[in-house]
Amino acid sequence: MVQDGTNAKIAVVGAGPGGLAAAVLLASRGLDVTVYEAQPTIGGRTARISLGQYHFDRGPTFFLMPHVLDEIFGSVGRTLTDEVDLRRLDPMYRLVIGRPDAADVVIDTTQDIDRMAERIGAIHAPDGRAFRSFYRHNQKKLDAAEPILRRAIRGPLDLLRADAMKALPYINPHLTVHDMNSRYFEHPAVRLAVGFQSKYLGMSPMECPSLFTILPYIEYEYGVWHPIGGCNALMHALAAAFIDAGGRIETGVPVEGIEYNGKRVRGLRLGGRRDGEVVACDHAVINADASWAIKRFIPQAWRGRDSDEAFDRKKYSCSTAMLYLGVDGPVDLPHHTIRTAPAYEQNLEDISRKNGAAGTLTDDPSFYVCNPSRTDSTLAPSGDSALYVLLPTPNGKAKIDWSAEMPRVRELLLDRMRSVLGVDLRDRIRAELRLSPDDWRGMNINHGATFNLAHSLDQMLHKRPQHRLPYCEGAWLVGGGTHPGSGLPVIFLSAQITASMLCEQLGVSPPDLSRGDPTRFRPTVNPPESAAVGGLR
């Protein structure tokens, strides 16, 4: 049913990246939009954690495909580089690839394809030559797949459209990322260097569908970026653009429930400082963990086979254990360092066994260190460092006592940073916070699965929760739980899809996304380390 959108009231539940981006796009069409956020600050999983003068991104630290966010800012007449001070990273990240019976392989990755091919060739000469073919293949794959990533996939018929059919030769549903990479590369370390990116989805390259070999291509084509102030700075820029477009944000106001007239949304029941109030709305755009949100806000009796138990049985990503460390003095590491376990496949199996339910902790695991103070002096006192350390773990289905395990995880990570990366922090830590899968679950993330529903073939495209929820009228979903999936760039794409569909429903012209410019984010020359683009407003 198409409505007259002139007087429609739209409520966005959650001020995470998807909710804020959708709010900007809807406000760009002159719609009446209010965002309600349970926490006192905006950002969701992209919020800021502050420990005194040390500041950290809670979740995402990799910023990829900035042109997608540039499109969203363009809808309200702005550009991303006018709103946020972006730094292109070179090296994009350092890979420290553990091997069981040999020294670690260390690769500093760069957007310069010729230099990157040389670095891979230094490990195994044929693989250096193959890298250019791998890059070209995934360039064609992303070009073919992009129309699918940019629109709603509501059922199999949407995959039979002409633009979607062009992607079919590149999908190879019978192959995993590891399978596809093995067709190009011979050396195990090189396969891992262009396969570990499946962890951005919380998945193993041995299980992740081969479509996602586009992830390393995206890094090499569009770069890895750091917004000064962290990824949370993107959230504040979106919030400012939304408010300037006439929108309203209320923080510290959790949404306790959705009120219905029959099966049609009529309002939100609020908590916090507005406890018990019901505010009217015609549409609710839900930016929360998809499984948790559907269980919380949509009556189970309306959902048929999509019961609470059915959602809990779905496949979920891994979780993470986190250390946020304020450190005295500089840390001699690049901005991003990824160390993969010597027994990589066993580490992945330990994490994901039986969809996490039988997961366990590996003695010498993979881990990731973000050292943004290398690039950004705003995150720590002068000369000090704000260090973010992440350990992939089984999700909350595993029977792990995290109150007992987190102290051991802390010691393990500090030990491995000293022995593997040569960084001894124990006497230098001035501030510290730890988060476990239990903490993520306490943030209304189903099973504490920080990367959302797994991106397995049976949970992709139209098999993910829909942007327009089918159980009632006026309830919409945005974020990593719906198509196209997890990660900031595709969450911003999900916002574009949801906002465009809602505008169509209201009889309003869709947001103008034509002003984004991907060429702005492709290097024309080799950038120096942390070359600046744009300026801080």
pLDDT in tens, 325-381: 999 999 999 999 999 999 999 999 999 988 888 899 999 999 999 999 999 999 999
The rounded distance, in Å, linking the Cα atoms of 395 and 433 is: 20
Count Cβ atoms below 10 Å from residue 407 Cβ, excluding itself.
10
In 3D space, the residue among 335, 135, 149, 107 whose CA is nearest the CA of residue 225 turns out to be 335
Identify whether 484 is preceded by a cis peptide bond (ω within 30 of 0): yes
> What confidence category does residue 524 fall into, taking pLDDT thresholds of 50, 70 and 90?
low
Query: In angstroms, rounded to a whole number, what is the distance separating the alpha carbons of residues 516 and 537?
Result: 19
- Confidence band of 158 (pLDDT split at 50, 70, 90): confident
Q: What pLDDT band is residue 225 in, cutting at 50, 70 and 90?
A: very high
Rounded mean pLDDT, 216-227: 95
Checking if the pLDDT of 535 tops 60, the result is no
Residue with tokens 């209201």: 506
pLDDT tens, residue by residue, 29-74: 999 999 999 999 999 999 999 999 999 999 999 999 999 999 999 9
Total-model pTM: 0.94
Please give the C-alpha separations between residue 178 and each of 58, 188, 527, in angstroms, as whole numbers. 30, 10, 30
Give the per-residue pLDDT at 169.
84
pLDDT of residue 516: 81
pLDDT band at 5 (very low <50, low <70, confident <90, very high): low
Domain ranges of the chain: 5-88+229-314+452-520, 131-222, 317-451
Q: pLDDT at position 528, please? A: 43
Domain at 5-88+229-314+452-520, CATH homologous superfamily: FAD/NAD(P)-binding domain (3.50.50.60)
Please tell me the predicted confidence (pLDDT) of residue 265. Answer: 98
Kindly state the average pLDDT of the residues 466-490: 97
Site of tokens 């956020």: 37
8 Å CB contact between 239 and 83: no
How far apart are the two ends of the chain, measured CA to CA in Å? Answer: 42
* Mean pLDDT for the stretch of residues 498-516: 95
